[in-house]
Amino acid sequence: MSWLENVRISLRGLNANKLRSSLTVLGILIGVGAVIILVAVGTGSSQAVQNRIKALGTNTITVLGTGRFGRGPATTGTQTRAATLTAADVGLLQDRTQAPDILTVSPVDSTSVTATNGAATSTMTVTGTTPTYIGASDFQLQAGRNLTSSDVTAHTRVAVVGTTLVSDLFSAGANPIGSVISLGSLQVQIVGVLATKGSTGNNDPNAVAIIPYTTAQDRLTGYSASFSELIVQSRSSSDINAAESEAASILAGANHTTVSALPFNFLNEGSLLSTSQSTNQTFTVLLGAVAAISLLVGGIGIMNIMLVTVTERTREIGIRKAIGAPKSAILGQFLTEAVILSLIGGVAGVIIGVAGSHFRIVGVQPVLSWQSIVEAFGVAVAVGVFFGFYPANRAASMRPIDALRYE
Amino acid sequence: MAIPPPERADVAVPPPEGADIDVPPPEGPPRRPVISLRKITKVYRMGEIEVAALRGVSLDVLPGELVSVMGASGSGKSTMMNILGCLDTPSSGRYLLDGVDVRRLDETILARVRNRKIGFVFQSFNLIPRTSAVANVEMPLAYAGVGARERRARAMAALEEVGLADRAHHLPNELSGGQQQRAAVARAIATNPSLILADEPTGNLDTRSTHEIMDIFARLNQDGRTVVLITHEPEVAELTRRIVRLRDGLVLSDESTAGEHLHASDMGAR
Ligand SMILES: Nc1ncnc2c1ncn2[C@@H]1O[C@H](COP(=O)(O)OP(=O)(O)OP(=O)(O)O)[C@@H](O)[C@H]1O
Ligand SMILES: [Mg+2]
């Protein structure tokens, strides 16, 4: 008997019990759809997090000084002076021969102030730094100019501001460039506006005013000759670990201590990315596993239905055997039924899954993965064959007389 | 459309061309039996209790014979018939079908035997529900590997043979008992088997339908097929040339009524 014949007989069998067949299909559909959607959600959220981390710049290392973070002065052995990040350190780190993998070093001295423009006020972060900061922090200039080194040496009262500051302090459509605003007690002239940058957390990165660190130390943060952090930019993201160790050994040398005893924290964006990648992968696998369980349940549904079908149609099996159906034909018929159920469920599940992945789910834009579609579909069909085999084989192995006598 | 003459096993000698089936076979080498039962027993085990349905039945049926099997209820008729149809296996004894011991045949070959050599008609018709008469008749042909087009033609020919061509597309539950039984007979003869076995084919039918069915069996037999049927009705049994009576799992009598040319339509006159 041809396989086409088999399919026709099986379809007739399935058609005779439409409701039962469709409920079984539904079980597989939900399983396959859930695998595809949940894996897409997992992939989507993982990609979103990674994009945000990448937005920080994957080639930067943040060196955090301890003093300003309340960790107390570091006292190591012979040295009692608190280790701080100074302008001298910035100069050392920029040495091409000592630190060949470091591209730029931007000191950061920041504080929170109330910015005012006439009656409008807003709380802003003022970052005192150098011209390289904007590039290292993945900011982009939207209008106007960046800070210059002469601004830094001349303690110029200029600021490059973020879009939140602009929208808070200026009416819509007004050109802020050239305006003078107050940052606390400091009056600055806006010379540039930054493009809006995606948020990496709870802080709004666009509520910022960037001014020369010399100006900041004069009026806002107080002259301390030390910085809260340094943003070290490596030449490329692959050099980031080399840049980190160069920075560490230079700073250790400058502070007459060892790298391990250095009281600074190094935040390496590259390692942050790979950590988040692996946690997100775990998350995705977990979601996939939950969905796979529902697929398994769907498979057991197929087996259950096939067992019922076989029991219900035992007499039919007996008749078929009595008129000469070989074991292979009966096996083929019921196996085909199981596979058809799981195929329909699989195809419908893929359609639902792909369609469902186009909607935002709990704030995450799902990202479809071909692998999960192929795997979910393959597993669905395999489940059909696997769970269909036992009932089919049971039917096929019956002696005709036993099947005929079955009540 | 006429059904072609039945296939015969290579070992069986066909009846002489044009032989009058009313007269005893002409002189010559004895024909090999189609069916040869040797001390067949069948014991059903139900927990502790053992029921001996057959206790040593020996029986030969020659090609072209029309045999009826009678006996009280529980005498083992159906049990014997199921063994003859290769639906069941005996507890002991030998069953030679066309000279071949069926115990030596494996599942696949037995399926082929049931498909090609034997046509089985059940008392309860056993048509597959929700499946049209013609689809039911096509089923054994499908298992025989006949292509769709030829299958339909042969199924229609078989339905024509039993006078049911006009009901070909009716579902079993849309047919009367007699029509269902005729569809079942058509299914039994669709693959053109040489042996027709029928377990009380008229048991559930009224007199008129019984006539029709017996007419068909008489005709099939005249075409050269071997027919063995079980019946409770003496009128039906008397239409056959040989009556085997069973009692308590043993053959009680085996009488030939040769010489009487009987036709089902005579039945009412008796
Ligand atoms: N599957 C079975 N299990 C146990 N005992 C059985 C089984 N089938 C038949 N028997 C027993 O075997 C004996 C013969 O049964 P069988 O069906 O062959 O009788 P029968 O001659 O066909 O009767 P009837 O004319 O009523 O159909 C009976 O006593 C019956 O109870
Ligand atoms: Mg019986």
Domain-wise residue ranges, chain B: 35-117+193-269, 128-192
Closest CA to A128 of A148, A110, A150, A105: A110
Q: Which of B165, B178, B171 has its CA nearest to residue B133?
A: B171
Q: Please determine, for residue B221, whether its predicted confidence score (pLDDT) is greater than 90.
A: yes
Least CB–CB distance from B115: residue in A315, A319, A323: A323
Q: Which residue has the higher pLDDT, B12 or B204?
A: B204
Confidence band of A223 (pLDDT split at 50, 70, 90) = low
Q: What is the pLDDT of residue B5?
A: 54
Instruction: Verify whether the Cβ–Cβ distance A16 to B112 is below 8 Å.
Output: no
Q: Average pLDDT, whole number, for chain B?
A: 85
Residues with CB under 5 A from ligand 2 (ion): B 78
pLDDT 10s digits, A286-299: 888 887 888 788 88
Q: Do A404 and B142 touch (CB under 8 A)?
A: no
User: pLDDT averaged over chain A?
Assistant: 83
| Closest CA of chain A from B92, distance in Å | 17
State how far the Cα of B243 lies from the Cα of B129, in Å rounded to an integer.
34
For residue A70, is pLDDT > 50?
no
- Give this prediction's pTM: 0.66
Say how many Å lie between the CA of residue B210 and the centre of ligand 1.
24
What is the per-residue pLDDT for B103?
A: 92
Q: Which residues surround ligand 1 with Cβ inside 6 Å?
A: A 405; B 44, 46, 51, 53, 71, 73-79
Look at A212 and A287; give whichever has higher pLDDT.
A212
pLDDT the model gives residue B259: 43
| Angle (CA) B30 B36 B41, round 5° | 155
pLDDT in tens, A334-343: 888 888 888 9
Counting from 1 in the atom list of ligand 1, the atom nearest the Cα of B75 is: 21
Q: What is the mean pLDDT of residues B217-236?
A: 92
The length of chain B, given as a count of residues: 270
Handedness of CA A118, A121, A122, A128 (dihedral sign): positive
Look at A326 and B145 and tell me if their CB atoms are within 8 Å. Answer: no
Q: Which of A116-120, A122-126, A383-387, B76-80 has the lowest mean pLDDT?
A: A383-387
Least confident segment among A385-399, B71-85, B189-203: A385-399
Structure tokens at B102: 């069926």
Predicted complex ipTM: 0.84
The span from the first CA to the last CA of chain A, in angstroms, equals: 28
**Spatial contact of A20 and A360, defined as CB atoms under 8 Å apart:** no
Residue of B nearest to A327 (CA): B108
- Residue range A231-282, pLDDT digits in tens: 898 887 778 888 888 888 888 888 888 888 888 888 887 777 777 777 777 8
Minimum-distance ligand to the CA of A402?
A: 1
**Average pLDDT for residues A5-25, to the nearest whole number?**
84
Every domain of chain A and the residues it spans: 3-52+275-405, 66-263
pLDDT of amino acid A89: 86
Which CATH superfamily, name and number, covers B35-117+193-269?
Answer: P-loop containing nucleotide triphosphate hydrolases (3.40.50.300)
* pLDDT tens per residue across span A304-343: 888 888 888 888 889 999 999 999 988 988 888 888 888 9
Q: What is the pLDDT of residue B118?
A: 96
CA–CA gap between residue B10 and residue A29 (Å, rounded):
54
